């Protein structure tokens, strides 16, 4: 099909344009729209028939004059140009520069939509990543190729935590660092600046590619931004053999943009107005992470999901949790006690932890230490509840021990400095120190050999 | 229908839903769309136009591209070579796809489910001779599919007639003809090692039978508390992180079914890889052979096309029924049926159908029921018995069990293993909640347990559940006023319940010893916890303070012994029971002595 321009735009609503009588336009293709005043916008075909084509306009449809609009079908999918030069750059959701520098020129162009990795070609992630954060390394370990989101709320320090992980993440006994793909969707100028400064001051900037769409940028662009960022991540991982850590913030704004467009399209809403395909759509993004047989690079993902009103059952964190391999949950209560990072371990989880830890990976006692700490902490929280009702003085000696453990655990194990990089051994040793406040017989999740080797208490 | 008539063109593309102009096409028929030849299925017809749901992404398809009807509905190939394979949602072999198209799945690939080149050693049925009348289910012969599984080559359900020729023993490919029959109209038909069957049509059988023996899974909370019969249907609902996938995988690994079919329906790629990488390493505890020899996988990860996700459950079920018809006990695990239901919702939403509950179409309940009804124990056409046990994971949004998929599922199934967020948060796994779970099979299972393991099974189970219920009541009091308000006897009840929770119900899938627990060991552990509790109670009744008992080191041992002794070392558990007996007895003697001294 030759590239033609059409002046047959018939309708504009909420980020969408309908164009009539445009035969043979391919579903998913890229579109350029001239607004008739010298400006152009980019779009994508999201419904196609010979009679009518529906176009999603990434820059939004504000201030478009139907009479003046020209639509050009570029006869190519939405693509991004890729080269090693992308590192150190700041781009928008379509891969165009935001940093005032020239566009990326390369003969390598990839469609941003990606396609599904054949499950038979994947290899199972099992390499422990030390983040230097005890609640993650000790209890919810991250492995290369995992997607582990941070569930947070407004005002909680998810950005600081993400930045700390970016600074500290490394394989145990190995110095190779990660290349970072940073995708910002709908975040504030201040948040974007925080990351930019953070990358600059820790000297990783040359190893980072940033894709940025700010809160006041067109929301429709957020729909393509994570896909563009992941296409870049796949290039870095599988073409350039790098280990890539993708930080995406904030997936909630992405999903809200999706809802906005879905509503304009007239899609049937499922929960809270989000379309029924929100799960599949999120999965298309999250599932692009992983490891592939015989490829040297890998993609590890840490999306930030802010939970509207701290509600973990809200569709966005809920569906995310069903796709990702666990979650790190931040708690306002811990934050209010001045504990950083305020990781609430009870609802936090890492599903891929089991194969990345233990004798050959971290230390042989790691799996059972984690199970034991969880059990003690669950009991300690119950005791804390009880104490708040009947008063700590009424507790038995056994219970008072749990109460003290809860406080020590929060202060010493959960709490750590923003620049404190704890080795996994330090984390496990700290765990034993805390557990040794209990008599041996209370530690039934641990084996007798482990107790003999590491237990530091004196009571029987 | 001539070739000419069966060609048409694409009118409209709306995501996975494509409208085509193709007169003469039938509802449910398979269609190939566009230059790429994307596969799809007709879901509605109006005049010349048909609405097609495609199993692959439609990016790049244009209006006006060709569309072609294939003449048959979505079907699977049934024959030797299924076991050990991993298929996508429409039975394409994923490993072969990887060879053809690399790490990503290329669209429009048409690969048959069964290997066309592989040769199988066919052993004809010695009881058959030309001239005999044969029909559905007649065993034409056998093929040793894997070391443990003998594949019976059956006459397909829609064939009947007089056997005119049966191939001699030897090596055959799946497409080679192995028998000829003459049907009632005098037509001669040839049969091969495989046949096709439409996935949305349940395979017929002679009659339905009641389940008689439990599916042993080696998981204590399932087998000992909420048993499931072979041929039953069960659900595992739970919020994310509660451990649904682990429960399903444990059943796949350790159940005593002959054949295991694992359908990963809209699940995580990395978890499927875990299955793919670990199953070939694992040993079947019943035969000592590799687990993969009796397993087949259907994988449609969450990022693979949504329509194939809907199909994957039917594809798995049809293969399950096929092995059932050979006389095997099959267990099929569907993880997760919520993703299947959401695929229905997504398609119905794109069609603009009127939603009823939370966007789900009105036919959700009937479709769900129809899927689960394909489970069952049956008398097959050749008078054997076979069963399909269907266990579906359910992923309720926000962990809310009142949502449509969970509540409709609950109405249909017989066993409900409800996973609890609270238990999972405390890392009590499997997090199957003993209060909200239920099993409709306890009575039937009891017969088996009483005969095979111990005649006190049902009584012990009831006692344990009663103690756990008492524990829940007492815990509420403790949470209000503290443990000091309880009497010694009540505190011993809490201790007894905790012995059951920690020593019996909790079971680590990661612990080498504890991951599988034989029925004998299950009963020994349950009996150990309960008899410890009973003995202790008699001491408390004569006035021994509860703290005396709580500090006994043997109690910690009773909690730990599940992972200290294997299923072969049940005697050691009974030794521990005696040891605890003796410890209690000496406390009793000491206490009696003190009191007489006073």
In a domain? residue A361: no
First to last CA, chain A: 83
Question: In chain A, positions 157-186, which contact chain B (CB-CB < 8 Å)?
Answer: none
Query: What pTM was estimated for this model as a whole?
Result: 0.91
Quick one: pLDDT band at residue A2, thresholds 50, 70, 90? low
| Residue A420 phi, psi dihedral angles, 5° rounding | -85, 120
Task: Quote the number of domains for chain A.
Answer: 3
Asked if B270 contacts B255 with a C-beta cutoff of 8 angstroms, the reply is: no
Judge whether A352 is closer than 8 Å to chain B, CB to CB: yes
Could you tell me the two tokens for A25? 């336009």
For the cut 90, the answer to whether the pLDDT of residue B108 exceeds it is no
Residues A208 and A263 in one domain: yes
- What percent of chain A lies above the pLDDT cut of 90? 75
- Residue B38, beta-bridge partner list: B33
A150-152 vs A298-306, strand pairing mode: parallel
Q: What is the pLDDT of residue B77?
A: 96
Q: Which domain holds residue A310?
A: 81-355
Asked if B189 contacts B183 with a C-beta cutoff of 8 angstroms, the reply is: yes
Question: Which tens digit of pLDDT belongs to each residue from A439-449?
Answer: 988 898 898 89
Question: In chain A, positions 107-166, which contact chain B (CB-CB < 8 Å)?
Answer: 111, 113-125, 145-146
Please state which of the ranges A2-16, A206-220, A350-364 shows the lowest mean pLDDT.
A2-16
In a domain? residue A460: no
Residues A300 and A402 in one domain: no
Question: Which tens digit of pLDDT belongs to each residue from B276-293?
Answer: 888 888 888 888 888 899
Q: What is the pLDDT of residue A98?
A: 94
Better-predicted residue by pLDDT, A32 or B592: A32
Query: Exposed, middle or buried, A267 (CB in 10 Å: 0-12/13-18/19+)?
Result: buried
HEC states along B278-301? HHHHCECCCCCCEHHHHEEEEEEE
Residue numbers belonging to the annotated binding site of B for ATP: 238-245
Residues A333 and A381 in one domain: no
The nearest CA of chain A is from the CA of B414 a distance in Å of: 25
Question: Which candidate from B60, B107, B276 shows the least CB-CB separation from A27?
Answer: B60
Q: What is the pLDDT of residue B383?
A: 81
Judge whether B588 is closer than 8 Å to chain A, CB to CB: no
Q: What is the pLDDT of residue B4?
A: 45
| Residue B242 phi, psi dihedral angles, 5° rounding | -85, -10
Could you tell me the two tokens for B189? 């038909």
Domain boundary among A43, A76, A109: A76
Domain boundary among A55, A76, A97: A76
Residues A420 and A311 in one domain: no
Q: What is the pLDDT of residue A460?
A: 45
Residues A322 and A349 in one domain: yes
Residues A36 and A91 in one domain: no
Residues A65 and A138 in one domain: no
Judge whether B508 is closer than 8 Å to chain A, CB to CB: yes
Cβ neighbours of A388 (radius 10 Å):
9
Question: In chain A, positions 392-431, which contact chain B (CB-CB < 8 Å)?
Answer: 394-396, 399
Compute the average pLDDT of residues B60-73: 93
For the cut 70, the answer to whether the pLDDT of residue A173 exceeds it is no
Residue given tokens 């009881």 in the structure block: B127
Compute the average pLDDT of residues A327-331: 96
Residues of B in contact with A268 (CB under 8 A): 348-349, 352-353, 355, 359
Question: Which tens digit of pLDDT belongs to each residue from A198-229?
Answer: 999 988 889 999 999 999 999 899 999 999 99
Could you tell me the two tokens for B448? 């088996």
| Length reported for chain B | 598
Q: What is the pLDDT of residue B192?
A: 96
CATH label of the domain that carries residue A53 = 2.40.10.170
Question: Which candidate from A280, A354, A396 shows the least CB-CB separation from B302?
Answer: A280
Selected for mutation to probe chain B from A20, A21, A23, A27 (highest B CB count within 10 Å) is: A27
CATH label of the domain that carries residue A95 = 3.40.50.12240
In a domain? residue A205: yes
The nearest CA of chain B is from the CA of A460 a distance in Å of: 10
Residues of A in contact with B11 (CB under 8 A): 49-50
Q: Which of A377, A362, A249 is nearest to A306 (CA)?
A: A249
Residues A35 and A115 in one domain: no
Nearest CA in chain B to A46: B14
Taken in order of first residue, the domains within chain B and their CATH numbers are 4-72 (2.40.30.20), 119-193 (2.40.50.100), 207-442 (3.40.50.300), 457-597 (1.10.1140.10)
Question: Which tens digit of pLDDT belongs to each residue from B287-320?
Answer: 888 889 999 999 988 888 888 899 999 999 999 9
Judge whether A77 is closer than 8 Å to chain B, CB to CB: yes
CB-based contact B482 A385, cutoff 8 Å: no
Q: How far is CA B15 from CA A166, B56, B580, in A?
A: 37, 10, 66
Mean pLDDT value across chain A: 92
Quick one: pLDDT band at residue A69, thresholds 50, 70, 90? very high
Residues A294 and A392 in one domain: no
- Interacting residues of A176 by C-beta distance below 8 A, sequence separation 6+: A170, A243
In a domain? residue A38: yes
Residues of A in contact with B271 (CB under 8 A): 325, 351
Residues of B in contact with A121 (CB under 8 A): 98, 102-104
Q: How far, in Å, CA of B224 to CA of B458, rounded?
A: 9
For the cut 80, the answer to whether the pLDDT of residue A3 exceeds it is no
For the cut 90, the answer to whether the pLDDT of residue B106 exceeds it is no
Asked if A347 contacts A359 with a C-beta cutoff of 8 angstroms, the reply is: no
Asked if B532 contacts B558 with a C-beta cutoff of 8 angstroms, the reply is: yes
Q: What is the pLDDT of residue B598?
A: 58
Q: How far, in Å, CA of A169 to CA of A301, rounded?
A: 12
Question: Which tens digit of pLDDT belongs to each residue from A38-65?
Answer: 899 999 999 999 999 999 999 989 888 8
Compute the average pLDDT of residues A355-365: 92
Residues A72 and A86 in one domain: no
Question: Which tens digit of pLDDT belongs to each residue from A263-274?
Answer: 988 888 888 899
CB-based contact B273 A123, cutoff 8 Å: yes
Q: What is the pLDDT of residue B274?
A: 87
Mean pLDDT value across chain B: 92
Question: Which tens digit of pLDDT belongs to each residue from B422-466?
Answer: 899 888 999 999 999 999 999 999 999 999 999 999 999 999 999
Q: Which of A139, A86, A58, A92 is nearest to A435 (CA)?
A: A139
Question: Which tens digit of pLDDT belongs to each residue from A116-157?
Answer: 899 999 999 999 999 999 999 999 999 999 999 999 999 999
The nearest CA of chain A is from the CA of B63 a distance in Å of: 5
Q: What is the pLDDT of residue A183?
A: 96
Q: What is the DSSP letter of B483?
A: G
Residues A214 and A241 in one domain: yes
Please state which of the ranges A240-244, B250-254, B280-284, B507-511 shows the lowest mean pLDDT.
B280-284
Q: What is the pLDDT of residue A314?
A: 93
Quick one: pLDDT band at residue B1, thresholds 50, 70, 90? very low
Residues A102 and A129 in one domain: yes
Question: Which candidate from B101, B399, B426 shows the least CB-CB separation from A313?
Answer: B399
Size of interface A-B (CB pairs under 8 A): 236
Q: How far, in Å, CA of B231 to CA of B376, rounded?
A: 4
- Residue B9, beta-bridge partner list: B21, B66
Residues of B in contact with A296 (CB under 8 A): none
Domain boundary among A27, A55, A76: A76
In a domain? residue A22: yes
Residues of B in contact with A50 (CB under 8 A): 11, 63-64
Residue given tokens 């009590």 in the structure block: B428
Q: What is the pLDDT of residue A176?
A: 66
For the cut 50, the answer to whether the pLDDT of residue A352 exceeds it is yes
For the cut 50, the answer to whether the pLDDT of residue A433 exceeds it is yes
């Amino acid at each position: 099909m030759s590239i033609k321009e059409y002046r047959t735009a018939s309708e504009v609503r909420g980020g969408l344009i309908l164009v009539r009588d445009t035969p043979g336009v391919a579903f998913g293709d890229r579109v350029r729209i001239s607004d008739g005043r010298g400006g152009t916008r980019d779009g994508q075909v999201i419904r196609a028939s010979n009679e009518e084509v529906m176009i999603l306009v990434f820059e939004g449809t504000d201030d478009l004059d139907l009479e003046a609009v020209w639509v050009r079908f570029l006869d190519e999918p939405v693509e991004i140009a890729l080269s090693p030069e992308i590192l150190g750059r700041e781009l928008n959701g379509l891969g165009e520069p935001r940093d005032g520098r020239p566009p990326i020129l390369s003969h390598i162009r990839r469609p941003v939509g990606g396609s599904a990795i054949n499950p038979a070609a994947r290899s199972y992630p099992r390499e422990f990543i030390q983040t230097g954060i005890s609640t993650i390394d000790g209890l919810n370990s991250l492995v290369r190729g995992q997607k582990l989101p941070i569930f947070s709320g407004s005002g909680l320090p998810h950005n600081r935590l993400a930045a700390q992980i970016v600074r500290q993440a490394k394989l145990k006994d190995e110095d190779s660092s990660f290349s970072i793909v940073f995708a910002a969707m709908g975040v504030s100028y201040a948040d974007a600046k925080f990351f930019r400064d953070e990358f600059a001051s820790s000297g990783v900037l040359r190893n980072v590619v940033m894709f940025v769409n700010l809160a006041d940028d067109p929301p429709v662009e957020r729909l393509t931004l994570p896909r563009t960022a992941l296409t870049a991540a796949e290039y870095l991982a599988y073409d350039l053999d790098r280990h890539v850590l993708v930080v995406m913030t904030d997936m909630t704004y992405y999903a809200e943009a999706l809802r906005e467009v879905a509503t304009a399209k007239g899609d049937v809403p499922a929960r809270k107005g989000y379309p029924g395909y929100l799960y599949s759509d999120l999965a298309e993004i999250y599932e692009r992470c992983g490891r592939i047989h015989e490829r040297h690079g890998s993609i590890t993902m840490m999306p930030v999901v802010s939970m509207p009103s701290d509600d973990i059952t809200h569709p966005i964190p809920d569906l995310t949790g069903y796709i990702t391999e666990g979650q790190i949950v931040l708690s306002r209560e811990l934050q209010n006690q001045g504990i950083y990072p305020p990781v609430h371990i009870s609802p936090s989880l890492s599903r891929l932890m089991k194969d990345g830890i233990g004798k050959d990976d971290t230390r042989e006692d790691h799996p059972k230490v984690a199970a034991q700490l969880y059990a003690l902490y669950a009991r300690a929280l119950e005791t804390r509840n009880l104490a708040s009702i009947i008063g700590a003085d009424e507790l038995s000696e056994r219970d008072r021990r749990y109460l003290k453990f809860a406080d020590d655990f929060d202060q010493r194990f959960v709490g750590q400095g923003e620049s404190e990089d704890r080795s996994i051994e330090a984390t496990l040793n700290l765990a034993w120190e805390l557990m040794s406040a209990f008599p041996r017989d209370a530690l039934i999740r641990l084996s007798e050999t482990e107790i003999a080797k590491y237990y530091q208490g004196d009571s029987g | 229908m001539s070739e000419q008539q069966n060609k048409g063109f694409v009118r409209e593309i709306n995501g996975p839903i494509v409208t085509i102009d193709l007169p003469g096409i039938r509802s449910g028929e398979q269609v190939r769309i566009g230059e790429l030849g994307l596969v799809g299925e007709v879901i509605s017809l109006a005049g010349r136009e048909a609405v097609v749901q495609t199993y692959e992404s439609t990016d790049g398809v244009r209006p006006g591209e060709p569309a072609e009807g294939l003449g048959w509905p979505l079907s699977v190939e049934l024959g030797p070579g299924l076991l050990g394979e991993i298929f996508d949602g429409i039975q394409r072999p994923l490993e072969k796809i990887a060879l053809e198209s690399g790490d990503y799945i290329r669209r429009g690939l048409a690969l048959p489910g069964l290997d066309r080149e592989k040769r199988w050693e066919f052993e004809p049925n010695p009881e058959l001779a030309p001239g005999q009348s044969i029909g559905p289910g007649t065993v034409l012969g056998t093929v040793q599919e894997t070391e443990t599984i003998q594949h019976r080559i059956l006459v397909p359900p829609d064939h009947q007639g007089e056997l005119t020729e049966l191939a001699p023993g030897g090596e055959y490919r799946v497409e080679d003809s192995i028998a000829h029959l003459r049907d009632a109209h005098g037509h001669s038909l040839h049969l091969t090692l495989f046949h096709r069957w439409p996935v949305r049509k349940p395979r017929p059988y002679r009659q339905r039978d009641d389940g008689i023996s439990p599916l042993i899974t080696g998981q204590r909370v399932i087998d000992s508390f909420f048993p499931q019969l072979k041929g039953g249907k069960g659900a595992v609902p739970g919020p994310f992180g509660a451990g649904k996938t682990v429960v399903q995988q444990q059943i796949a690994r350790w159940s005593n079914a002959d054949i295991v079919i694992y359908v990963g329906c809209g699940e995580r790629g990395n978890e499927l890889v875990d299955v793919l990488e670990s199953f070939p390493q694992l040993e079947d505890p019943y035969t000592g052979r590799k687990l993969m020899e009796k397993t087949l996988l259907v994988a449609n990860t969450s990022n693979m096309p949504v329509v194939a996700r809907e199909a994957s459950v039917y594809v798995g079920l049809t293969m399950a029924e096929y092995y059932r018809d050979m006389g095997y006990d099959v267990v099929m695990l569907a993880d997760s049926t919520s993703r299947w239901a959401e695929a229905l919702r997504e398609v119905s939403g794109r069609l603009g159908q009127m939603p009823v509950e939370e966007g789900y179409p009105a036919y959700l309940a009937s479709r769900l029921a129809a899927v689960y009804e394909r489970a069952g124990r049956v008398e097959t056409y050749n008078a054997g018995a076979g069963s399909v046990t269907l266990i579906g994971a359910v992923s309720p949004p926000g962990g809310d069990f009142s949502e449509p998929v969970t509540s409709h599922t609950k109405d249909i199934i017989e066993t409900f293993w409800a996973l609890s967020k609270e238990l999972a948060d405390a890392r009590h796994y499997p997090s199957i909640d003993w209060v909200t779970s239920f099993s409709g099979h306890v009575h039937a299972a009891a017969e088996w347990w009483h005969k095979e393991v111990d005649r006190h099974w049902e009584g012990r189970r009831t006692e344990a559940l009663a103690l756990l219920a008492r524990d829940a009541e007492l815990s509420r009091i403790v949470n209000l006023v503290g443990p000091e308000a309880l009497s010694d006897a009540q505190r011993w009840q809490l201790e007894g319940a905790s012995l059951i929770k920690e020593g019996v119900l909790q079971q680590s899938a990661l612990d080498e010893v504890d991951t599988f627990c034989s029925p004998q060991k299950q009963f020994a552990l349950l009996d150990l916890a309960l008899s410890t509790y009973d003995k202790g109670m008699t001491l408390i009744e004569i006035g021994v303070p509860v703290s005396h008992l709580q500090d006994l080191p043997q109690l910690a041992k009773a909690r730990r012994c599940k992972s200290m002794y294997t299923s072969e070392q049940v005697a050691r558990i009974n030794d521990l029971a005696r040891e605890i007996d003796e410890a209690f007895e000496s406390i009793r003697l000491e206490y009696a002595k003190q009191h007489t001294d006073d």
